[in-house]
Amino acid sequence: MKITFITGHLCKERHALLNELALDLGEYGAEVTVLTGFPSRRISEDVKNYYLDHPVEKISKNVVVKRIGSKNGEGEGLFDRMIKYLRLTRLLYKEAKKTPTDVYYIYSSPPFLGWIGAKLAKIAPTLYNAQDLFPDTLMRIKGFRESNLFIKFLRYRERNVYKKNTKIVTISEEMKNTISTHDCPKDKIEVIYNWADTESIHHVQRQDNKLMDELGISKEGFIVSYAGDIGLFQGWPVIVDAAKRVHKQNKDIRFVIIGSGSYKEKLEEQIKQEGLDYITTYPLQPASRLSEIYSIGDLELVSIEPGLSKLALPSKTFAIMAAGTALLSLVDQTSDVAHIIKSRNMGYTLALNDAGELAKTILKAYNEKENLPEMGDNSRTVCEEIASRKKQTNKYYTLLKKLSEEKI
């Protein structure tokens, strides 16, 4: 089976899941050609230069990556970035048409790739992987309403994506329900959770955590840790407000934040101006150190603003689970993540809308900290059951294989 894998960017340092999926599809016997752009954001200069110098790269016996398009980055502002994504989408489409294939796998970022999937489905079956939903995310960023003419146009194109791609796969039941409201039959949509590599990610005892030593993070006291995107949708004002309330009652609790993103500068400025020395930030760390990263906290924080779980799922949840750490999950209580945590005693979960309740929950976890190791063990067990790498990537292979055997 020949699979043409289409995504905006693929590099193991930033797009671990995509890289792992491509490698595993090749391991299962498929011949995989990855068509993608040149990565530039949130990677080091050395990594960026490596990919610029390797437009064609064989990353395993059966997987070849072809990078095309602009080498000048993804753009700074939203408009500039969208123009570059449109140009990249056009180039990927032209290259995909020339690539012999039995089936196309199409990732949802950048958000225009689904459009070309609707056309490529005339050549071979397409599997469109809706990891986040567009234009809903754009509406949240810019505050656009459904009555906006641009949004109406994008809604029309979105319905076309769901109608004309052969199959849709998404990453939560809630997202499946959202997609089905846009004229897409539920039986056309599959749910496959994202995953964590349970063979490589494990819990690291605090006394053995070398990353904490390197970053200068004290191993004393109680730590609430966050690692990942420090962006617009994690609800930082609520989290910081809760941290202030906690600190007034318990000086033993500290907050460690690791990552990068559009909100980080503003967050660091607030910490500095208000003297919040119990909140410390650190640079984004390589994916190779996920075991240490997600073992830092007594509680590992996952947060997404209310209403967003129907549009996206914080997939790092599974990496935290694989690391065997108790979760502090701030998500919609109707979400898949909230249901799993509640049903299996993996930590604490509440909506991200009340700093007082969040502070109470953190203090409760501190007072019941003898229960946290068991919660962490439960997290690891559940991850192995429902979100291990090989189980999930094999589901993609099985689905792609089935599609490839269907006649156009």
Q: Which range, of 49-58, 148-157, 284-293, averages the lowest pLDDT?
A: 148-157
Mean pLDDT of 93-111: 94
| Whole-number pLDDT of residue 77 | 67
For the cut 90, the answer to whether the pLDDT of residue 297 exceeds it is yes
**pLDDT band for position 82 (50/70/90)?**
confident
What CA–CA distance (Å, rounded) separates 80 from 58?
31
Q: Is residue 241 assigned to a domain? A: yes
Determine which of 11-20, 125-134, 192-201, 319-328 has the lowest per-residue pLDDT on average. 11-20
Please tell me whether residues 329 and 399 are part of one structural domain. no
Least confident of 32-36, 113-117, 147-151: 147-151
138 and 255 share one domain: no
Does residue 118 lie within any of the structural domains?
yes
Domain count, the chain: 2
Average pLDDT taken over every residue of the chain: 92
Q: How confident is the model at residue 16 (pLDDT cuts 50, 70, 90)?
A: confident
Whether residues 165 and 224 fall in one domain: no
**83 pLDDT band (50/70/90 cuts)?**
confident
> What does residue 81 show for φ and ψ, rounded to 5 degrees?
-65, -40
Residue 404 to residues 123, 181, 213, 401, Cα–Cα distance (Å)? 11, 27, 50, 5
pLDDT at 150: 81
Question: Do both 315 and 190 map to the same domain?
Answer: no
pLDDT at position 217 over 90:
yes
Q: Among 40-44, 353-357, 404-408, which range has the highest average pLDDT?
A: 353-357
Is 101 exposed, middle or buried (CB count within 10 Å of its CB: 0-12, 13-18, 19+)? buried
Give dist(CA 407, CA 56) in Å, integer.
31
Look up the CATH number of the domain holding residue 130.
Answer: 3.40.50.2000
Report whether 211 contacts 325 (CB < 8 A): no
Asked if 169 and 258 sit in the same domain, the reply is: no
Return the pLDDT at 384. Answer: 96
CA distance 46 to 54: 12
pLDDT at residue 390 is higher than 60: yes
pLDDT at 408 over 60: no
pLDDT classification of 191: cutoffs 50, 70, 90: very high
Asked if 181 and 242 sit in the same domain, the reply is no
Weakest-pLDDT range from 72-76, 149-153, 165-169: 72-76
The percentage of the chain sitting over the pLDDT mark of 90, rounded to a whole number, equals 72
> Please, which pLDDT band fits residue 100 given cuts at 50, 70 and 90?
very high
Percent of the chain clearing pLDDT 70 (strictly above): 98
Residue 74 covered by a domain: yes
CA dist 308 and 379 (Å) reads: 23
Check whether residue 285 and residue 339 sit in a common domain.
Answer: yes
The first and second tokens of residue 29, run together, are 């016997």
135 and 28 housed in the same domain: yes
User: Predicted confidence band at 134 (pLDDT cuts at 50, 70, 90)?
Assistant: confident
Phi, psi of 107 (to 5 degrees): -85, 155
- In-domain check, residue 201: no
Instruction: Please indicate, yes or no, whether residues 251 and 113 belong to a single structural domain of this protein.
Output: no
Residue 64 lies in a domain: yes
Same domain, 256 and 317: yes
pLDDT beyond 70 at 407: no
Q: Are residues 177 and 266 in the same domain?
A: no
Q: Which of 135-144, 167-176, 224-233 has the lowest mean pLDDT?
A: 135-144
Cis-peptide into 306, omega within 30 deg: no
The boundaries of the domain holding residue 78 are 2-195+388-404
- pLDDT confidence of 166, banded at 50, 70, 90? very high
